[in-house]
Amino acid sequence: MGEKSKLLVKAVGKGILKGIIYYIIYYIVIFGLLIMYVIPMLFSSLNINVSNIIGYEMINIPVIIWFIGLHIAIELLRAFIPYGSALEPVIGIILLYIILISLNYGRIEKYIPEYHVTLSIDASLLLKTIFYILVIFSIGSVFSKLANEYKKRHKS
């Protein structure tokens, strides 16, 4: 197996592993906690069981595929393109955006046949604000990674 093939296999392997790890961190831990615990906790004083209304699935296959696919892309960029690792946070932003889309930007509607009414919860401003903060943080990471790679490449 050639050097490039080895790099390619290594990049794909790392991409799959990182995709799953970041899926757990972003989708299950951060947004899962937010949707399944933080928002229901805010509503607990009203005796509304929001968890029943929110259709959050811990295992979301399309999102997992996106996470793995984009992390493979990150590892390939890192392995074959100069300063490719600096693009990692940009792909992180794309993944966050995919999470927001999969959660319908935090907008949920549910018809309650007993009362003949449709109820809704709109946490889009909260999720968009969190997304916006993470985007700023990610762009900061781009600069940080560029600085480190610049130093590594030019000092050696």
Partner 1 sequence: MYRKGVYIGLIAAAITLYLVALFQLYILVSNIQNTVIPALENLSSMRLNYRVQSLNISRVDNTHIVSACLLVNITWSKNLSYRGPQIELIHKGVKIGVINITSYDKPVINKRLCFKLNISGDPGKILLIIHSYSGYINFDYTQPIVNASSIASYAKIQIVELKTVSEGNISTIIVTTKSSFPIKASVRIVLRDENNNVLASRVFEDYNTSSTKPYTCRITTTPDIANKTKYIEFYIEKILISRYRIGG
For partner 1, the closer of residues 37 and 137 by Cβ is 137
Question: How far apart, in whole angstroms, are the C-alpha atoms of residue 148 and residue 126?
Answer: 33
Closest listed residue to residue 93, CA positions, set 139, 128, 62, 34:
139
For partner 1, the closer of residues 17 and 42 by Cβ is 42
Residues 62 to 121: which contact partner 1 by CB under 8 A?
112, 115-121
Using the rule CB under 8 A, give the single segment among 5-13, 56-64, 66-74, 129-137 that binds partner 1: 129-137
Interface residue with partner 1 among 18, 77, 123, 131 (CB under 8 A) is 123
Tokens of 88: 């990692």
Residue 33 interacts with partner 1 (CB under 8 A): yes or no? no
Terminal alpha carbon distance of the chain: 29
Interface residue with partner 1 among 1, 5, 45, 82 (CB under 8 A) is 45
For partner 1, the closer of residues 5 and 120 by Cβ is 120
Name the region of 136 (left: φ>0; alpha: ψ -120 to 50; beta: rest): alpha
The residues with which 56 forms a beta bridge, in sequence order, are none
Residues 81-100 as b or e (16 or more Cβ within 10 Å = b):
eeebbbbbbbbbbebbebbb
Residue 30 interacts with partner 1 (CB under 8 A): yes or no? no
Binding footprint of partner 1 on the chain (CB under 8 A) = 39, 42-43, 45-46, 48, 112, 115-123, 125-126, 129-130, 132-134, 136-137, 139-144, 146-147, 150-151, 154-155
